[in-house]
Amino acid sequence: MAANGDTQTVSEYIVHHLTNLTYGKLPGGYERYDGTIVPEAGQWTMAHGSDEMTAMGFNAVHVDSMIWSVGLGLIFCWVFRRVAVRASAGVPTGLVNFIEMVVEFVDGTVKDTFHGRNPLIAPLALTIFVWVFLMNLMDLIPVDLIPHSLMLVGVEYQKIVPSTDPNITMGMAIGVFLLMLFYSIKVKGFGFVKELTLNPFNHPLFIPINLFMEVVGLLAKPFSLGLRLFGNMYAGEMIFILIAALFSVGLFWLLPAALLQVGWAIFHILVITLQAFIFMVLTIVYLSMAHEDH
């Protein structure tokens, strides 16, 4: 384990692999890692280390998470469009058969879970399931392969699993939350206000208490949706990194580390699929609740 020719400790190795490639604006007067002082007007640059990322604050963008998530989304669109063009009335084979199985599985889940009428729900559920699955699938790539390859061309940090970044998972969760609010207002109208103020105690005196409990419950949905995915995938990635660190301990640990990597990867296939499924199902459930106007 080495970076820029210097030997890393296990702690430095773990921190390095959990650090995003970040672009943002450093405040004026900030002293950078190489001793240079940022001009008073500030400086837009790539961050070097966690201290500079912290100094950037809200102006920071995780470039690697954005590139990998958008790239995987484009791959999803390209593959599904290609299969849709090649689909025919005959018996499907190969990739076409697999994609049709995925579409039928998602469609069946939507029919069983969603009780309203909305042509957006099934495509949204399919997009969420496949997109989250592809982002999770990046966790199975050896942790050193891409980061160390990019370090050879000067890219110091690289996290290739977008779902281990809370900005990505919470961004998707907030998108679902906004759809929940939109359809709650569209379908229920003023009934949505009554739902927030007159439940569970149907009396005007309890409106403040009802409003507080309902708003807390409403806001808990996007947090639980985004943080559940982030927490599970982050923990899985951490285990992969810890197992990879064993390879540097000594020859005695090479075989156990290799067996642990293979075993955890096989088990993790279930985890990444299950997390994508849970995110999709909860999205369908939340939007179904938003369409219930009784």
Residue 98 included in any domain: yes
> Which residue in this structure is represented by tokens 């290799």?
258
Residue 33 included in any domain: no
In angstroms, the Cα distances linking 292 to 110, 187, 198, 256 are 15, 8, 16, 53
- So what's the pLDDT on residue 2? 44
Residue 206 included in any domain: yes
Residue 28 included in any domain: no
Residue 232 catalytic? yes
Segments of the chain with pLDDT less than 50: 1-5
Kindly give the residue spans of alpha helices, DSSP state H, lying in 57-117: 63-86, 94-113
- So what's the pLDDT on residue 89? 66
Helices (H) and strands (E) in the chain, counts: 10, 5
Set 167, 199, 228, 288: catalytic member: 228
Residue 187 included in any domain: yes
- So what's the pLDDT on residue 261? 86
CB 79 within 8 A of CB 73: no
Residue 118 catalytic? no
Residue 279 included in any domain: yes
If one counts the domains in the chain, the total is: 1
CB atoms within 10 A of CB 262: 11
Q: Which domain holds residue 224?
A: 64-291
Residue 282 included in any domain: yes
Residue 88 included in any domain: yes
For residue range 8-41, list pLDDT tens digits in order. 788 888 888 888 999 999 998 888 888 889 898 8
Is cis: bond before 119, omega within 30 of 0?
no
- So what's the pLDDT on residue 1? 45
